[in-house]
Structure 1
């Protein structure tokens, strides 16, 4: 879909539809008041009849409004004006898009971007309207025999800004919003793909397809044979039970100076996690195709980065693997020597993500990274702690943690920091090895991060546990595209500091 910005009066728009807001109780927004005045009170008369109260999400489509050049006017309920926050704004935009898509209006001029949203400016309102529009229109139907499509779908949406002086800001917001939206789309498509198609090799293929489109990114695969030579025994232990070989995919993006230390983004890519010998219950096991949500998130963030062409160096790592129970699978009780030389006692083969990530963290030391962020659907404990709304954030570097938290607030892709104090480390001590791969039920998210922290001592590192935020279950199940917005905002922040 095409997005753009302009600055103009609502009554002068030659468009299939003009979109304006109505607040509770039956009170026209300032832009809607302009239309009402030009139309001789047409809108206010309709409101007086009770056709629209103005509650958030209500809509009313009007045709042939007097003295208005647009074919249609869509009134959208925005709730109480003083309570209009970012969450409500996203809902309003989503409802607007779905309504427009059903009306047959193939293009529209939207004045909702002029609404006052608490603590948010024009850039934010336009950018997140673009993201919300893409979110609303996304479908995963590539594997369906018959696809249902609207007869006349929405093709073009123009957001109005209050003054011409704000047009450059609006254009920048559209550009950033589209980049994030495309990254989210890539993330969702990969994560929603079934595990018989989305294997570790498939992840590598998706990265290579992106590299074909952009000149300043190269992709390399690290195979099981290479991992064996490197001593990546923890990573390989997880893969042993699967017929699909593990593949670690590296995406090298060169946007900064040659000698600039890279930012490394690592995504856990368990394309299916049966639990291995510690097999999971069958109920809901189909959702374990989403255990590569971290890799999908990094792939999506790399796509956004390539769209934005930011002046930073970034290496995206997709740690692809599959955890299956066969006669060659690793067992509870095994002790494995990781690439770092540290030994791990396996107490539960379903704690496999940290086994893959620990060797990956050691592998990326060779790049002398400026920062490393790993992203993983790592622990069910994070879902219990934070539910589906916030990503768990843990870090060994306070400034990095604050950067990511700020990015999460700016992007609306929220995170919450949890501690990884030294007191928690004793929970993963082992009498037989340097550590064990689980620490028991208490503080499960934290002890998983403590495990990873033992392999991240040579750089500034943060861990994002997206187990509760990467996908939603139930009737409307599917990947959410998180944490692509947060990661992209983090990279935007880094790029801005480089430019400054």
Structure 2
């Protein structure tokens, strides 16, 4: 889908559909007034007759109106007050859903919605994300219909030159779609080896270098925490290292993003209940978000260095799988008593943190993981959990989250929680008991990041939707891309 800027008026633009707005009091935007005047008050009549009430996100698709060039008019409600960020995204998604199946050009005459808080460039960026994201549909393992569904060819923004914002939004949208596709792929296809192949395919872009560390090599290196998880599966585990080199100084310290990529999580010997276990294919959505972020960076080409890592394995209950009570030695040399094999994400992540920090000396580290049900219970599917003791990191991630509306909520990471990980038989246990589960998981990871600015995002509640709407969300790609671009 192409995105472009148009200087034509709403009445002149030759599009398959022109989008204009009306608020809940019946006030038309200036663009809508042009169409209303050209059509002898047709839009005003629609409000007066109750066809549309102007509620936020409400849409009314109208046929060709005399006096204008567009073939259709989409009248969109904006509510009682100037839209805030949350309602703005609701409006944009409503527009995308109402117009995407129209072939040809969709013209957006909505620049008047811009404000000091939400400038025109923000609206344009979010519009591109909405259109790109709403065009996604998983079809890889479903029979294709004989007739492909219709889809808009292009989206035109009527207003200021916001080309850069449209490009950024399209790149983020494509990155989110890539993350959704990886997350939605069934686990018999999406294995650690398959994920490594996706990384290698991305190296067609010369600004990306990829290294694959296989399970046996990692075991030889002493990555005993990672190996304790991977060894229980017939699918070999891997750590995938992607280096995006965009900075003018090739030696500039990279910013590291690390994604948990458990392509299927049975819980291991600490077996999960059978209900909804199919959704454990989404336990690699942290990895998917890193892939999506790389995809967006390759499109945008920012002048930064990024170390994008994925630690991938299956967690299976085989005869050689780890058992509760086992003690393993991590790549850092620290020993870990495994009390619950379903707390495997932190085991694969800790060795990847050690490897990335020791070998690449990153300027900062963010890890992203579907790590704990405790975080999901606390925050639901609205906010991802943010953990860090670095105030600069917290501010940067919260700022990127507020801008992108890829929301986070900061949860405690105080030293007082560390003692919950005490073990009689190792340097630490891999769980901290029934209380503060999301925090003790973050405490565990923090022990492998000493001396490096680090933050942890627990996306267990935000990475996918269940039920009838089951599917990966593509979060937190938008947050990560904005965070890295702000660097």
TM-score, scaled to structure 1: 0.94
8 Å Cα contact 1:237/1:329 also seen in 2: yes
8 Å Cα contact 2:15/2:104 also seen in 1: no
The equivalent position to 1:220 in structure 2, one of 211, 221, 245, is 211
Does 2:322 correspond to 1:336? Answer: no
Q: Distance between the aligned counterparts of 1:323 and 1:117, measured in 2? A: 49
* Alpha-carbon shift at residue 60 of structure 1 (Å): 2.4
* Alpha-carbon shift at residue 13 of structure 1 (Å): 1.4
- For the residue of structure 2 that corresponds to 1:459, the secondary structure is coil
* Alpha-carbon shift at residue 113 of structure 1 (Å): 3.6
Q: Distance between the aligned counterparts of 1:351 and 1:203, measured in 2? A: 22
Alignment of 1:48-127 (within 5 A): 48-80=48-80, 82=81, 84-102=83-101, 104-116=102-114, 119-127=117-125
Q: Distance between the aligned counterparts of 1:64 and 1:188, measured in 2? A: 36
Corresponding residue for 1:231?
A: 222
8 Å Cα contact 2:21/2:110 also seen in 1: yes
8 Å Cα contact 1:42/1:66 also seen in 2: no
RMSD: 1.5
Corresponding residue for 1:409?
A: 402
Corresponding residue for 2:386?
A: 393
Corresponding residue for 2:126?
A: 128
Q: CA 1:118–1:50 in structure 2 vs 1: closer, same or farther (change >3 Å)?
A: farther
* Alpha-carbon shift at residue 51 of structure 1 (Å): 2.1
Corresponding residue for 1:154?
A: 152
Q: CA 1:134–1:441 in structure 2 vs 1: closer, same or farther (change >3 Å)?
A: same
TM-score, scaled to structure 2: 0.97
Q: CA 1:98–1:150 in structure 2 vs 1: closer, same or farther (change >3 Å)?
A: farther
Corresponding residue for 1:325?
A: 317
Corresponding residue for 1:31?
A: 31
Q: CA 1:358–1:298 in structure 2 vs 1: closer, same or farther (change >3 Å)?
A: same
The equivalent position to 1:250 in structure 2, one of 226, 236, 241, is 241
Instruction: String of CA shifts for 1:305-335, please: whole Å, max 9, x gaps.
Output: 1111111111111101110001100000001
The equivalent position to 1:345 in structure 2, one of 337, 342, 355, is 337
Q: Distance between the aligned counterparts of 2:149 and 2:465, measured in 1? A: 29
Corresponding residue for 1:498?
A: none
Q: Structure 1 residue runs of 4+, over 3 Å off? A: 147-152
Number of paired residues? 485
* Alpha-carbon shift at residue 459 of structure 1 (Å): 1.1
8 Å Cα contact 1:89/1:117 also seen in 2: no
Corresponding residue for 1:141?
A: 139
Q: Distance between the aligned counterparts of 1:295 and 1:197, measured in 2? A: 15
* Alpha-carbon shift at residue 149 of structure 1 (Å): 5.8
Alignment of 1:99-498 (within 5 A): 99-102=98-101, 104-116=102-114, 119-147=117-145, 151-161=149-159, 166-167=160-161, 170-212=162-204, 214-256=205-247, 257-364=249-356, 365-494=358-487
Q: Distance between the aligned counterparts of 1:105 and 1:264, measured in 2? A: 41
Any gaps of 5 or more consecutive residues in structure 1?
495-500
Q: Distance between the aligned counterparts of 1:277 and 1:147, measured in 2? A: 42
Q: CA 1:41–1:9 in structure 2 vs 1: closer, same or farther (change >3 Å)?
A: same
Q: CA 1:470–1:117 in structure 2 vs 1: closer, same or farther (change >3 Å)?
A: farther
Of 359-368 and 38-47, the range deviating more from structure 2: 38-47
8 Å Cα contact 2:420/2:440 also seen in 1: yes
8 Å Cα contact 2:290/2:477 also seen in 1: yes
Alignment of 1:14-29 (within 5 A): 14-29=14-29
Q: CA 1:64–1:346 in structure 2 vs 1: closer, same or farther (change >3 Å)?
A: closer
